[in-house]
Amino acid sequence: MKKTFAILLPPALILISILVVALLAMNRPSPPEREATTAAMLVEVIEADASDGHFNVNAQGTVKPRTETTIVAEVAGRVVEVSESFSAGGFFRAGEVLAEIDPSDYEAALLQARAEMASAEAQLADERARSEQARKDWERMHGSERQPSDLVLRLPQLAGAEAAVQAAEAAVMRAERNLERTRIRLPYDGLVRVRDIDLGQYVSAGTSLGQAFAVDVAEIRLPLSDQDLAFLDLPRPGRFDTYFTPVTLTGSVGGQRGHWTGRVVRTEGVVDENTRLSYAVVQVDDPYGLLGNLQPLPLQMGTFVQAEVRGRSAEGLIELPRSALREGDTLFMADENDRLEIRNVQVVRATAHRVYLHNDIQTGERVITTAIPVPLPGMLLQTRSADGPEPELRVLPAGDLAAMREEDS
């Protein structure tokens, strides 16, 4: 009996355990059902707005002086004086003496030329007197009916004396000019770029003394493509219009970021055969601020600048940030139900920062600026203004989402 009980007890315990677990499972309370939810994608939007400004064309170039001079000695001699202004970076006024070559030889040459002119003038006066006396003697001997010959009146000698006076006057003018050339001057206010001479140095005619440039106007050559020219109103080649296209220049000088204003004054009228670009010339008045035009930061020659040229009117077009335009000239739009709409648009002009569109969208429509990795038309969106505060995340039950999709379909 004990042996039979020992054999049947384990299977009975297992069976009882299974029955208990089954009863417990059958009587377990059901967990509360939770409805599936779907989160709308949070995106930033901006309102489409019509442009009331102008197209802007960006270019770049290097600042150069409009007037630059290589100073060359016109006479020979020893340098006896050098102005403090005549040094690299020195500022000088128009007509200021920058350097002087020893003038003693040229002063002596001027004295000699004046003496020779005085002698020639005396000889001319003597010949005139002789000619007049010869005329009187002829009239006393022959009367006034017969005309004397040129030899009798000494007219050849008189002409020779007049020519000698003219030659002497030319020699005086030459000597005065050579004496003036010993003083090195320039006819403009400017800065010295390089000085090649020093005090006591002997220079001959043609020796380079240095380089300088005028500070009244700086110029920048801007390369422009045919596409850029289509959006600009520029002077025609060979003409100077009364209206000058405004230009904003930006560059770095001495580690500081500066901004300057200029104007397009002419176009060169030639297309570069290698680059197929045309060039417009921009001028900036008083770039260093040395002539009364206050400049917050001097625009130094050689500075590389970015230029923004004001172009034709963009009135009536839709202007958006360049980042809003998607691949294939499309926009991501948020409709009135906060659903994604992918719309094709016609691009009039696209720059690195702005894009101008034709009448493909209306003012006030919402354009999405957020990147959407997998854009699906009709997907639910949670929108917020690009400049506004971030809203709370919008969550819809799956049932509501399905109902909304059925309504749209």
Per-residue confidence in pLDDT tens, the chain, 409 aa: 556 656 666 776 677 777 766 776 677 666 665 554 556 788 888 888 887 778 888 999 999 999 999 999 999 999 999 999 999 999 999 999 999 999 999 999 999 999 999 998 898 888 888 878 878 777 777 776 777 777 877 888 888 888 999 999 999 999 999 999 999 999 999 999 999 999 999 999 999 999 999 999 999 999 999 888 888 888 888 776 666 889 999 999 988 999 999 999 988 889 989 999 999 999 999 999 998 888 889 999 999 999 999 988 887 788 888 888 888 888 898 888 888 989 888 888 887 788 888 877 888 889 988 888 888 888 888 888 866 555 544 444 444 444 444 444 4
Is 15 within a domain? no
368 in the same domain as 294: no
Specify the residue for token string 């601020």.
Answer: 289
- CA 154, distance to chain mean position in Å, is 72
Is 283 within a domain? yes
143 in the same domain as 161: yes
394 in the same domain as 322: yes
CA distance 6 to 39: 62
Its pTM stands at 0.69
325 in the same domain as 254: no
Residue 345: partners with Cβ closer than 8 Å, 6 or more residues away: 325, 329, 330, 331, 357, 358, 360, 361
CA-nearest of 370, 362, 319, 323 to 343 is 362
347 in the same domain as 321: yes
Given this model, what pLDDT does residue 56 score? Answer: 85
Is 199 within a domain? no
Is 328 within a domain? yes
Which among 181, 203, 237 is the end of a domain? 181
Tally of domains in the chain = 3
Calculate the alpha carbon distances from 385 to 31, 42, 376, 390 in Å.
41, 11, 21, 8
CA distance 352 to 69: 39
371 in the same domain as 293: no
The answer to whether the beta carbons of residues 255 and 297 sit under 8 Å apart is no
> For residue 278, what are the β-bridge partners?
224
Is 34 within a domain? no
Query: Phi/psi at 228 (nearest 5 deg)?
Result: -65, -45
- CA 100, distance to chain mean position in Å, is 39
303 in the same domain as 221: yes
238 in the same domain as 320: no
Which among 313, 336, 370 is the end of a domain? 313
Given this model, what pLDDT does residue 77 score? Answer: 95
The answer to whether the beta carbons of residues 368 and 334 sit under 8 Å apart is yes
Which among 128, 163, 181 is the end of a domain? 181
309 in the same domain as 219: yes
Q: Which domain holds residue 115?
A: 105-181
321 in the same domain as 308: no
> For residue 261, what are the β-bridge partners?
248
- CA 225, distance to chain mean position in Å, is 15
Given this model, what pLDDT does residue 20 score? Answer: 67
CA distance 140 to 169: 37
CA distance 280 to 60: 11
Is 80 within a domain? no
